[in-house]
Structure 1
Amino acid sequence: MSSHRIPIIQSGISRRGVLKGTAALGAMTFAGTLAGPAAATPKKGGTLRVGIAAGSTSENYDPGTWDNQYVQVFATARHGYLAEVAADGSLVGEVAESWDSPDAKVWTFKIRDGVEYHSGGTVKPEDVIASIDYHRGDKSTSAAKPFVDPIQEMKVDGNAVVFTLEAPNADFPFVMTDYHLPIMPAKDGKIDPTSSDGCGPYKVTNYEPGVIAELVRNPNYWKEGRAHFDGVHLLTILDPAARQSALLTGNVDVIDQVDLKTVALFQRAPNVTILSTSGTQHYTFAMDTRAAPFNDNNVRQALKYGINRQELVDKILFGYGEIGNDHPIGRSNRFHASDLEQTSYDPDKAKFHLKQAGLDSVEVQLSAADAAYGGAVDAAVLYSNSAEAAGIKITPVREPNDGYWSDVWMKKPFSAVYWGGRPTEDWMFSVAYASGAPWNDTFWENERFNELLVTARSELDEEKRREMYGEMQNIVRTEGGVVVPMFASYVMAHSNKIKHPEQVAANWTLDGFRAVERWWFD
């Protein structure tokens, strides 16, 4: 619920705090209660079973392909990263002990000594270079390519890796937390993208894509006070009723994406705790701007005025969220443009834009499945109903849950999508809105936007960055190919046997994908 909003990046963070960081993990504190009181001292033991509303038989170990919360949680369960976004939104070191930069262009990351791989051996600076290099270059198909390609050079300097960027990027340490960028062992300068080997809290013993992943605790994990479970089972349970039934019957201990239609009833169940966090997660309807009629911005604007956002927040999110404004930057982001005019439901304005496009009416199909997000099909129906008054006929198409992300998303011209958001504006825009980005799911091109993206990334003056990111949000709002009707809280549930720190991260679901590492049994 919105009153429990946690900033992903604290508004008071300083430039110096970004340019120089240290991994004082033991000094991390947790403040603010989102659910019941946490146990004072974590206990070791037990096997955690998590029912996740994602997963597909087409998934694999290749870090460049990961695109949903199942593989993302699985990744953080077995891998380590250069840095970690803590529960309070601050940045702490993980494989990197510390980092610093004099100018935001040359970054030095000191690699922690003694971090062991599951297969043996320790993390070396050369592994870091190979792990990042996998996502770079002309032949790379990785979803991380847009934000690591600006790395001009990587070199080893003792126990450190020195990154030289094409231009300054004040947010570069945050980029290194991306779930696509695990640190993996290298051989002859290359990582093996088919390997399960990592340096994270748990080791893989079995993986059946789209079904289950089974892991056991890494006995040599370097972090004190983490990885409390003896084992972890991650289960794909796409159907929301089946997920909740699995928790009620004790077949799983934790689930994500509680069905909000039944959350009021569900939370009355004995031995069940509802956990809600608010951050950057948003639900969208993405239009392929290359395809008619979406290649006409007036049609896109008509569709934005044809949706009743508050109705979706009330009936789909049941109040666990807030209305969006057709751009992906949430109120918890540092440079959220709160002064932009709010696009509201207005059939007359929608009709005006249709006439500007030379149309009296328009007919489109909207693909949706609950694999996109809980209630996506119902949201498409509500959208269809509200748009009708504007002369827009939307025909909702219920797509299969299995294979939605491989067969529908970025394949069908109009589809429902969820985005977890990103900790920084540059990161979110680079992943999903930059020209040529693999996950630019509207295939949108805007010259001014792309110029600003590069300029803002290099600008170290906070107010100038704020102005540029504000303009970019407005460009997406008025010219982009995405309808962003709502920002959604992460609503999870767990058995009362589960305990967790008082503050739970809101940058991703399941405690920033790290519930398997941070939580424990009572």
Structure 2
Amino acid sequence: MTELSRRLLLAGAAGLASRPAFAQGTPRRGGVLRVSVDQAASVIHPLRTRVNPEYLVTELLYSNLTRLRPDMTAEPDLATEWSANDALTEWRFTLRDGLVFHDGSPCTAADVAATFRAILDPRTASPARTNVGPIAATEALDARTVLFRLSAPYADLPVALAYTAARIIPARFAAGDLDALARQAVGTGPFKLVSYEPDRRIVVARNERYHDPERPYVDRVEVMVFPDSTAETSALISGDTDILTTAGQGEFPRLSSARGVTALRTPSGQFLNVNMDCTQAPFTDIRVRQALALTVDRAAMVGFVAQGFGTPGNDVPMNLAYHFHKELPLKRANIAEARRLLAAAGHPNGLDLTLVASENPGTRTQLAVAMREMARPAGFRINVQTMPHATYLDQVWKKGAFYVGFYNMQPTADAIFSLLYTSDSAWNETRWNNQRFDALVREARVTTEEAKRRGLYGEAQQLMHEEVPSIIPAFFDLLGARRDYVQGYVLHPRAAVFRLEQVWLGNGAPRR
């Protein structure tokens, strides 16, 4: 076993002892926790989730092999420990003893192996397929040991297996009626599904056979859907809800001054991006993309879109929150150069474009409007088209030529690149296909030497910075809030991690 493998094994085992800090003494059990989200949890299938409310609900109902700590390192979930061979091409994960699914059937290594075979099958259409690492095959060595054989060395596998769409499901679904999990939930998570109204309310109740006998603390969680941010804030302030998972910048001052409410804020790599289809004119011409990027006043964009709760972006999906972030010269607005590039691309009289933005979150529309005004002096005549989020997901996401996207921080550089920007990524919205970029990401994925890996990821970021497959003008701090009696809840920088099984209700909590 290599020294790296030994450290990974010890890190996995050490995570068993991790416990959150609490403000009101010993955690106590009982009560109903109401959590608000800003859009419907339309997908309950744990291998096909796409947005934060869906990640929250499936995290309540299912488990991964590993979980993400706030520092983006892996800790145990269903697996208690893991180790790799010297080449980092084979990994063994040992499961907890006595795991059971909600229906009482045992959860074994055979279920884990079958889950990942389903994830890797293109017919499953799981975004996890290109985000769980270069897995070539999985095998149950015995009831508690699963072997991952990789097509290339990969040091990030324990972190990658915590991906939001890599929850473990029973083998009978993974190898049989996989679509049945779109209508029911059979997981090993801390809660069981009680009722599912995706546009209004999802209710779950404590799983008495959860692998951690101390948790969950609350008896029941009700996930309440509030498409209107003002109404969502009012519900928390009035005490109708207990946790607001995502607060808008406009509502944050109101939450900060509300009696009985604790406002929450943490830095993150969350961002909005303006996606341009690099296979469709006019965006096939790099000069058009570069010109548009040069119209953006990034500091002003942080103020306008993030209302100061963020940092400027540089058209690279990584900031200082990422380990391998490369500091590049921040692009400055240069209208004269933008006009020159646009003319050189064959548009001396300017260019008409339609930029599509979902209404949720509202920052998408704000970004689109800001882009329209900033780009106008350079000759870009942008028509902003807004639409309901469900319509956007159905008609525009991964299909449109020019639209505003929204993404959480990913745990690693490989994860964010493999999700959005490599030519074979799960959500390659820009259709950018740069073979050198792909090669750099592939090589970094199999490199364990720190300096070399940093150099590879740095060159990859440099390519993106220059070729601009999408414009990333700002990163957002994560904002949320909780009632003062809610204990054990913190914002996770990943934004898609919630850990509600750690939450308990202290003094002053309402009886429901």
Per-residue CA deviation, residues 233-284 of structure 1 (Å, 9 max, x unaligned), is 1122122112112212322111133221232233212112111111221111
Superposition deviation, residue 408 in structure 1:
2.4
Superposition deviation, residue 29 in structure 1:
5.3
- Alpha carbons 1:60, 1:194 under 8 Å: kept: no
1:427-466 pair list within 5 angstroms: 427-466=415-454
SS of residue in 2 equivalent to 1:23: helix
CA distance, structure 2, for counterparts of residue 107 and residue 280 of structure 1: 29
Superposition deviation, residue 182 in structure 1:
0.8
Greater Cα offset, 213-222 or 80-89: 80-89
CA distance, structure 1, for counterparts of residue 477 and residue 413 of structure 2: 19
1:108 counterpart (86, 92, 116)? 92
Structure 2 vs 1, CA of residues 453 and 122 (structure 1 numbering), >3 Å: closer, same or farther? same
Q: Which residue of 2 aligns with 1:73?
A: 56
- Alpha carbons 1:368, 1:398 under 8 Å: kept: yes
Greater Cα offset, 70-79 or 152-161: 152-161
Q: Which residue of 2 aligns with 1:207?
A: 196
CA distance, structure 1, for counterparts of residue 471 and residue 316 of structure 2: 8
Question: CA-atom RMSD, angstroms?
Answer: 2.1
CA distance, structure 2, for counterparts of residue 257 and residue 284 of structure 1: 19
Structure 2 vs 1, CA of residues 401 and 318 (structure 1 numbering), >3 Å: closer, same or farther? same
Superposition deviation, residue 16 in structure 1:
5.6
Greater Cα offset, 231-240 or 18-27: 18-27
1:403 counterpart (369, 391, 403)? 391
SS of residue in 2 equivalent to 1:226: coil
Aligned-partner residue type, residue 484 of structure 1: I
1:22 counterpart (8, 12, 34)? 12
Superposition deviation, residue 26 in structure 1:
4.5
1:412-491 pair list within 5 angstroms: 412-491=400-479
Structure 2 vs 1, CA of residues 149 and 169 (structure 1 numbering), >3 Å: closer, same or farther? closer
SS of residue in 2 equivalent to 1:261: coil
CA distance, structure 2, for counterparts of residue 385 and residue 207 of structure 1: 42
TM-score of the pair, normalised by structure 1:
0.90
1:42-61 pair list within 5 angstroms: 42-55=27-40, 59-61=42-44
Structure 2 vs 1, CA of residues 254 and 219 (structure 1 numbering), >3 Å: closer, same or farther? same
Q: Which residue of 1 aligns with 2:119?
A: 135
Superposition deviation, residue 183 in structure 1:
0.9
SS of residue in 2 equivalent to 1:221: coil
Structure 2 vs 1, CA of residues 143 and 274 (structure 1 numbering), >3 Å: closer, same or farther? same
Superposition deviation, residue 19 in structure 1:
6.7
1:307-386 pair list within 5 angstroms: 307-338=296-327, 340-360=328-348, 361-371=350-360, 373-386=361-374
CA distance, structure 2, for counterparts of residue 517 and residue 358 of structure 1: 57
SS of residue in 1 equivalent to 2:367: helix
Structure 2 vs 1, CA of residues 109 and 241 (structure 1 numbering), >3 Å: closer, same or farther? same
Gaps of 5+ in 1: 1-12, 32-36
Per-residue CA deviation, residues 380-406 of structure 1 (Å, 9 max, x unaligned), is 111111111211122211212333222
CA distance, structure 2, for counterparts of residue 90 and residue 81 of structure 1: 14
Q: Which residue of 1 aligns with 2:65?
A: 82
Q: Which residue of 2 aligns with 1:118?
A: 102
Does structure 1 residue 279 correspond to structure 2 residue 265? no
- State the identity %: 29
SS of residue in 2 equivalent to 1:63: coil
CA distance, structure 1, for counterparts of residue 280 and residue 46 of structure 2: 30
Q: Which residue of 1 aligns with 2:238?
A: 249
Count of paired positions:
497
- Alpha carbons 2:205, 2:219 under 8 Å: kept: yes
- Alpha carbons 2:270, 2:476 under 8 Å: kept: yes
Aligned-partner residue type, residue 518 of structure 1: Q
Q: Which residue of 2 aligns with 1:390?
A: 378
SS of residue in 2 equivalent to 1:135: helix
1:506 counterpart (493, 504, 509)? 493
- Alpha carbons 1:126, 1:189 under 8 Å: kept: no
Superposition deviation, residue 449 in structure 1:
0.6
Q: Which residue of 2 aligns with 1:517?
A: 501
